[in-house]
Amino acid sequence: MRTFTITEEQVKEYNLEHLFKTIETNKWYVVRHTYMQDAIIFLQDEGTERTYGFNHLGEWTEIYNNEMLHGKYGGDILRQATKDEVKRLLIDEAERRGVWDKPMLSVSNIESTTSEYAMGYDQYEDTLWSEYGKVYKRGVWATTIAEDTIEGRLSKIEKHLGI
């Protein structure tokens, strides 16, 4: 077998970066596709069959094939997603689900009807907060609280306080 030496410049010149790419698990990746829009998926450890994220139609999914991304296609089709790309998609999905910037039952099953939290996205914990609490954490979403329930609770509080 013959051995060759290749420089970093040659790697770039001949578009060979994918041969030397290291894929880190428990991070968000853009999954390129030739004929559809790119997916943005949370890559989990090998051995995890399915994962979550936004499929090639831009829809939230919890059944994306995680194993395929570790297989023969991984290095060729993956690019690590930026924090801003992920944050924007998660906020859009939270708005679509009706749990962004309004009272909700947070991921921790805590009712949140007041705005006491700082908004933000923590990419290391894969957690999104709105002003009302934890909207999303590692594939799990907050749920809405029915408006009549909120109004009922507020009226009970007002009655208790004599307002």
Using pLDDT thresholds of 50, 70 and 90, give the confidence band for residue 56: very high
Quote the pLDDT of residue 54: 96
Long-range CB pairs of 63-72 (<8 Å, 24+ gap) are: 64/39, 66/41, 69/23, 69/29, 69/31, 69/41, 69/43, 70/23, 70/43, 70/46
**Contact (Cβ atoms closer than 8 angstroms) between residue 132 and residue 117:** yes
Percent of the chain exceeding pLDDT 70 equals: 75
4-41 pLDDT tens trace = 787 878 777 877 665 656 678 899 999 988 888 999 99
- Worst-scoring range by mean pLDDT, 37-46, 72-81, 133-142, 154-163? 154-163
Tell me the C-alpha distance between 47 and 148, whole Å: 44
60-91 pLDDT tens trace = 999 998 887 777 666 668 889 999 999 999 99
Tell me the C-alpha distance between 79 and 66, whole Å: 15
Listed by start position, the domains of the chain span 1-81, 83-163
Tell me the C-alpha distance between 44 and 49, whole Å: 9
Which residue in 58, 72, 60 sits closest to 19, CA to CA?
Answer: 72
Tell me the C-alpha distance between 60 and 41, whole Å: 9
Using pLDDT thresholds of 50, 70 and 90, give the confidence band for residue 152: low
Answer yes or no: is pLDDT of 149 > 80.
no
Using pLDDT thresholds of 50, 70 and 90, give the confidence band for residue 119: confident
The whole-chain average pLDDT of the chain stands at: 81
The better pLDDT of the pair 104, 159 is held by 104
Quote the pLDDT of residue 38: 92
